[in-house]
A and B are shown apart, each in its own frame.
Chain A
Amino acid sequence: MRRSAVWAGPALLVVLVLPPLRPWLEASLIGHMLVQIPLLVLAGVLIARSLPEVWRLRAGRLDAYGVLGLLLALFVVVYWLLPRNLDAAVLEAGAGWAKIATLVLLAGMPLGLVAHRLPLLVRGVLWVKATAMFFVMGWLYREAPDRLCNAYLLGEQQLLGNVMLGLGALSLAAILALLLLGPPRRRSANTGPAQPSRREAVTPSRSVAEQAPAGT
């Protein structure tokens, strides 16, 4: 599979962790949940993809179908999406750094190492489930009468709910389009068997990183 540039992951991580962006993203619930956390996972994915091929081969020996990596990443992401842990990550410095470290090392990197091994069925289930969770959690955040996070205002919570409902609708539209129109045709399909499998490996693992936060 295609390797990421060595500098991409670390550069993204540094930008995310340093002052101008980090406090700005953490100041809003949407920035924290829908931007910062997915991008931290993405930084881990990019870092893992920039490692020598031998790392992915070793990881593949432990986790032939990528399920361990996926589970680990989901648990870590769900942990940090619990409202009380979102609060802690903002209000306690130690928890804030633990969030960054675990999202990169225990969510992003495992995904980067093994997500391309996930069977199509698992990817499909994950996508549909993530879409459903966007609707469920979006509705919850939109309608909850009380604040779920002490560090954020009620208005932000409702806005987050609406945005999540919107994302869920987009995701559902994509699923329906896929069902009705079939998968997008690949131009490179004639150039040999190796080419499509590479492309396939890149796209779905990226979508896993983006949709993982919805798995609450």
Chain B
Amino acid sequence: MWRNAVYGLTIIALGLGGFTTLALATDGYRAFTAEEARRVAARENPEPIPAMTLEDARGGELDLAELGDRYVVLDFIYTGCHHACTTLGASFHRIQEALPEAVLGERVALLSITFDLENDNAERLREYGERFSANPEVWYLARPHSREDLDRLLNHFQVVVIPDGEDFVHNGAIYVVEPDARVAAIHDIDAVDDVLAYLEPRW
């Protein structure tokens, strides 16, 4: 009798421990996927982007720390992409068109960073910009200088790029970097309205 009671209590304790562990492992049953986990982390625990200088497609350098006290809408692309990046490019174009003139470039900038160091050079990035009618004054296109820089960036944003035949598959998203350089919001690649709704009360 006494033995069975102890046994029953041990089972309950193990069950509670197990569900608690699973709760901790899923941010309170909110994030079952790595994608959702990084979104929760960005909302609740935004971290500054790494200090880094990128190669600007217009020539010269682009210092991530000197994007200034602006909101930066950021994405990772490769110009040879015909799926997610096309959606991302179209989304960025819509964001560019939707922002009021007083805000564009002043309070909000756009930045697309390529992760295809082998194929994407400044020229191809500029072509990508033209494809989506990017205004070079407000929509920056950039390329990391080295594989190490790129890996640091991808690690920080938890971007996972896997090859799929001749293409790449990656967990594309639209990131919003706050004026204090922290990544505070991650949105779906086509969630233009969400991004604008996030920015509007803030700019």
Give the contacts of A141-161 with B (CB-CB under 8 A).
146-154
Give the contacts of B149-172 with A (CB-CB under 8 A).
158, 160, 162, 164, 169, 171
Most buried by B among A78, A87, A150: A150
User: A153 and B162 in contact (CB under 8 A), knowing A72-B14, A79-B21, A79-B25?
Assistant: yes
Q: How long is the Cα–Cα vector from A63 to B108 in the complex, in angstroms?
A: 62
Is B196 positioned at the interface, with any CB of A under 8 Å from its CB? no
- Least Cβ–Cβ distance between B88 and chain A, in angstroms: 15
Is B26 positioned at the interface, with any CB of A under 8 Å from its CB? yes
Q: How long is the Cα–Cα vector from A67 to B14 in the complex, in angstroms?
A: 10
Q: How long is the Cα–Cα vector from A72 to B160 in the complex, in angstroms?
A: 31
- Cβ-defined contact, B14 with A148, below 8 A: no
Is A51 positioned at the interface, with any CB of B under 8 Å from its CB? no
Is B47 positioned at the interface, with any CB of A under 8 Å from its CB? no
Give the contacts of A38-75 with B (CB-CB under 8 A).
63-65, 67-68, 71-72, 74-75
- Cβ-defined contact, A84 with B32, below 8 A: yes
- CB neighbours (8 Å) of A78 from chain B are 22
Quick one: closest A residue to B7, CB to CB?
A64
Is A171 positioned at the interface, with any CB of B under 8 Å from its CB? no
Interface residue from A63, A84, A146, A154 paired with B37 (Cβ < 8 Å): A84
Q: How long is the Cα–Cα vector from A151 to B34 in the complex, in angstroms?
A: 10
- Cβ-defined contact, B25 with A85, below 8 A: yes
- Cβ-defined contact, B34 with A83, below 8 A: yes
Q: How long is the Cα–Cα vector from A72 to B25 in the complex, in angstroms?
A: 16
- CB neighbours (8 Å) of A167 from chain B are none
- Least Cβ–Cβ distance between A62 and chain B, in angstroms: 8
Q: How long is the Cα–Cα vector from A82 to B11 in the complex, in angstroms?
A: 23
- Least Cβ–Cβ distance between A101 and chain B, in angstroms: 16
Give the number of residue pairs across the A-B interface with Cβ within 8 Å: 65
Query: How large, as a class, is the contact surface on chain A?
Result: 20 to 34
Q: How long is the Cα–Cα vector from A65 to B11 in the complex, in angstroms?
A: 11
Chain B 14-40 against A: per-residue CB contact (8 Å), 1 yes, 0 no? 110010011001100001111111000
Is A17 positioned at the interface, with any CB of B under 8 Å from its CB? no
- CB neighbours (8 Å) of B25 from chain A are 79, 82, 84-85
User: A149 and B34 in contact (CB under 8 A), knowing A64-B7, A67-B11, A71-B15?
Assistant: yes
Quick one: closest B residue to A78, CB to CB?
B22
Q: How long is the Cα–Cα vector from A64 to B25 in the complex, in angstroms?
A: 30
Is A88 positioned at the interface, with any CB of B under 8 Å from its CB? yes
- Least Cβ–Cβ distance between A141 and chain B, in angstroms: 12
Contact surface of B with A, Cβ cutoff 8 Å = 7, 10-11, 14-15, 18, 21-22, 25-26, 31-37, 158, 160, 162, 164, 169, 171
Extra contacts besides A84-B36, A147-B171, A153-B162 (19): CB < 8 Å:
A63-B7, A71-B11, A75-B22, A79-B21, A79-B22, A79-B25, A82-B22, A82-B32, A85-B25, A87-B33, A87-B34, A91-B160, A147-B35, A147-B169, A148-B32, A148-B33, A149-B34, A150-B33, A150-B35
